[in-house]
Amino acid sequence: MKTDKFGIVPPVGTLTVTYRKNTSDNVNVPAESITEVVDPVLDFVTSGIAANTIATIQGSLQVTNEEPIVGDVKSLTPDEIRTRAIDAYASQNRAVTKQDYLSAVYRMPAKFGSIKRANIIQDKNSFKRNLNLYIVSEDANEKLINASTTLKDNLKIWLNNIKMINDTVDILDGKIVNVGIEFESIGSLEKSKSEVLVNSIAALKSEFGSLFNFGAPLYVSDVYKILNDLPGVIDVVSVKIVNKTGVGYSSAGYDVEGNLTSDGRFIRVPENVVLEIKYPDRDIVGVVT
């Protein structure tokens, strides 16, 4: 090289690179769950140390993860693969439009971590071309969780290689809102009410068990349609969408009733918010009379 602006060329010789590789299917773990040192490697400078002393020192090692380790996501669905493939082809390895940025986020190499859901919005309060990138990741149980600081740093470095030079991007935590579905329907006299209820809940879990996208509304009318189309359901009396909070749920509150459209067809969701039915087995409940 004729310049040292990009660093100094190493001398001729052998370059040895040592790296670690994880072979686990899912490397996401909750906070304070890594507590065991399996195979410690210690080098003692002073020779002649007694074996029992070495064993005591090795046994005194402790480890823990103060924050959840996230960045791994489950396999993509066929629809997700189809959508992301189209966006990736159109982006041509540069980020100009909104879809280009989202494609770049999802194409970040897995060794740097993976983003489960993302959305990018132009900051209307900024005088420059500032963009707000909202992201969420996935925990060990495949539930939405805020991305770790390390994952955000990796994403920032990745985007710096392909974003427009005059774009400034702020990477922010998306707002996760947990919701549940409550319904009441009238069953046919020829069908067992318990059977109709089980089939109703199973149909809703199949439709709404997958994750929503940022800003995607929840259509109450779809709930009515799914239930009314089931054998044994005469009519659907009511459907209510509720915000689930408390232990085990996101702390983000949301005024579901206040964001329900006047005709009751769907619930409006801001572009920095992603809905999640976190525990379909207990968050989707109903009554068949």
**Residue 141: CATH number of its domain:** 3.30.70
Domain end among 151, 175, 199: 175
CB-CB neighbours of 71 under 10 Å: 23
Model confidence at 71: pLDDT above 80: no
Residues 162, 90, single domain; the answer is: yes
Distance CA 202, CA 280 (A): 9
> pLDDT digits over 121-136, tens only?
988 776 666 889 999 9
In a domain, 69, yes or no: no
Instruction: Look up residue 261 and give its two tokens.
Output: 């459209």
156 & 228 share domain: no
pLDDT higher than threshold 80 for residue 6: no
In the chain, the number of structural domains is: 2
Gap between the Cα atoms of 223 and 203, Å rounded: 9
Domain carrying residue 271? 176-288
Question: For residue range 152-161, what is the model confidence (pLDDT) as tens digits?
Answer: 999 999 988 8
Decide if pLDDT at 259 tops 60.
yes
Cα 250 off chain centre by: 13
Give residue 44's pLDDT.
81
Residue 278 has pLDDT above 80, yes or no: yes
Same domain, 279 and 213: yes
In a domain, 11, yes or no: no
Measured at the CA of 91, the angle between CA 86 and CA 97, to 5 degrees, comes to 110
282, part of any domain: yes
Q: Is 228 within the bounds of a domain?
A: yes
Distance between CA atoms of 96 and 85, rounded to whole angstroms? 17
Cα-Cα-Cα-Cα torsion 144, 150, 151, 153, nearest 10 degrees, comes to 140
Indicate whether 186 and 205 sit together in one domain: yes
Angle, helix 78-91 to helix 98-106, in steps of 10 degrees: 120
Contact criterion met (CB below 8 Å) for 174 and 136:
yes
3-state secondary structure of 223: helix
Q: 267 and 228 share a domain?
A: yes
Q: Is residue 160 part of a domain?
A: yes
Judge if 90 and 101 occupy the same domain: yes
Q: Which of 11-15, 38-42, 69-73, 236-240 has the lowest mean pLDDT?
A: 69-73
Query: Is position 184 within any domain?
Result: yes
Token code pair at residue 162: 């392909």
Looking at beta carbons, which pairs linking 17-22 to residues 24 or more positions away fall under 8 Å? none
Domain boundary pick from 175, 192, 219: 175
Nearest to 111 by CA among 71, 61, 84, 74: 71
Note the pLDDT of residue 88: 58
CA angle 54, 55, 58 (to 5 degrees): 85
Tell which wins on pLDDT, 99 or 90: 99
State which of 126, 149, 175 marks the end of a domain: 175
Q: What average pLDDT does the chain have?
A: 85
- Residue 141 is predicted with a pLDDT of 82
Share of the chain above pLDDT 70, in %: 87
Residue at 244 is within a domain = yes
